[in-house]
Copies of this chain bind each other. A is one copy, B any other.
Amino acid sequence: MDYTVDWRDGRIVMVDQTLLPQTYRVLEYDNYREVADAIREMKVRGAPAIGVTAAFALALAARSLPDDPSAREEAFEEACRILAATRPTAVNLFWAIEEMRAVYRVHRAQDARTLAETLLHRAKEIQREDVEANRRMGAFGASLIPEEATVLTHCNAGALATAGYGTALGVIRAAVEAGKRIQVLADETRPRLQGAMLTAYELQRDGIPVTLIADGAAAGLMRQGKIQCAVVGADRIAANGDVANKIGTYSVALACRYHRIPFYVAAPLSTIDLSLPSGEEIPIEERDANEVTHLRGEPVAPDGVDALNPAFDVTPAELVTAIITEKGIASAPYEESLKALRDTPPDQVQE
């Protein structure tokens, strides 16, 4: 597939990311409630990919709305609520829902069929804009990567986490395309192992050298001088530059700080939530303890043991060397730099 999530013949299609890399199964949906379940179950995951999926899900919902204007709006709003309730941390989900809701409001006078087409048009735009944003992020970010480097990444912020190309892996891809000699160290990223299952898979397919490590191994490798920088994605960035990302990211940032290694975050502006002053206010999803106590359905811990499973952590801005966006690179103080990037008109972006 060209895109991680796509629209085909009136259906949403995506690869089931819980089965990769062993099984490549394409899922098709014609019911937005099932798409909401797929987001909740992480068949599709990654902040930008969740946003694109939610936009398509609303386009799908729009195809079976009632004719009566008030019932129609109520049904659309219900779809927005159901999708918004799937996962709390990635702000791209809420951003995409708001984008679609705005289109709905502007075009609510259209007949049901035309309105559905209008919404689908916007969802496709969001999809394409995401890939374009990733490519621009890649170009900006590649300039930060040394000519020869081993780059650490955590979780999967790749093509599979976005509409395509990737945020953190987009930066790595762009550096490789620019002729830099890049090796990637991929944290396996417990509990769900997105590094092992998805990042290693993506990079191997692209022929980019990748070596998998347990999450706990990164700091020791930094101490040995084997890592030149870290690049990760983000699920939500607060106005002060605090970064919520997959659990374990904070440990990467702490190890980078101690070893004086740059720690970069690559994320589209749709991931930046200027409404939250700091990371303290970012809601952190708690997922099922079974993700820690079991592996692929098999218990690894004694029966009945408690487990805590926060899906994300917050890395304070002071540990973030730079935030790479599609409009340029922000550095501290982030209160000013993030706002400035957000307010930069597209035609004034420096390439």
Please list the residues of chain A having a beta carbon within 8 angstroms of any beta carbon in chain B: 21-22, 185, 187-191, 193, 196-197, 200-201, 204, 209-221, 223, 246-251, 254-255, 257-258, 284, 289, 292-293, 295-296, 298-310, 313-314
Contact = CB atoms under 8 A, between A and B. Distances in A.
A308 B221 contact: yes
A216 B213 contact: no
A216 B248 contact: yes
Given A220-B310, A223-B314, A212 B251 contact: no
A216 B217 CA distance: 11
Contacts of A193: 300
Taken together, the copies of this chain in the complex come to: 2
A305 B215 contact: no
A204 B301 CA distance: 10
B305 A204 contact: yes
Contacts of A191: 214
B251 A211 contact: no
Nearest to A319: B258
Nearest to A259: B254
* A interface: dominant SS: mixed
Closest 9 interchain pairs by CB? A216-B248, A220-B313, A21-B302, A212-B307, A196-B301, A190-B214, A211-B306, A219-B250, A200-B305
A314 B217 CA distance: 11
A213 B191 CA distance: 9
Given A292-B188, A313-B223, A300 B197 contact: yes
A302 B200 contact: yes
B301 A216 contact: no
Nearest to A203: B305
Contacts of A221: 308, 310
Given A190-B188, A200-B301, A306 B212 contact: yes
Contacts of A302: 21, 200-201, 204
A1 to B, nearest CB: 18
A198 to B, nearest CB: 10
A313 to B, nearest CB: 3
Nearest to A312: B220
Nearest to A214: B190
Contact of A197 (B204, B301, B304, B307): B301
Question: Of residues A22, A250, A309, which shows the largest number of chain B Cβ atoms within 10 Å of its Cβ?
Answer: A250
Contacts of A304: 204
Nearest to A316: B223
Contact of A247 (B214, B249, B284, B292): B214
Contacts of A250: 216, 219-220, 223, 255
19 contacts: A21-B302, A188-B190, A190-B214, A196-B292, A200-B302, A201-B301, A204-B302, A204-B305, A211-B305, A212-B292, A213-B308, A215-B251, A217-B308, A219-B251, A221-B308, A221-B310, A223-B250, A250-B255, A295-B296
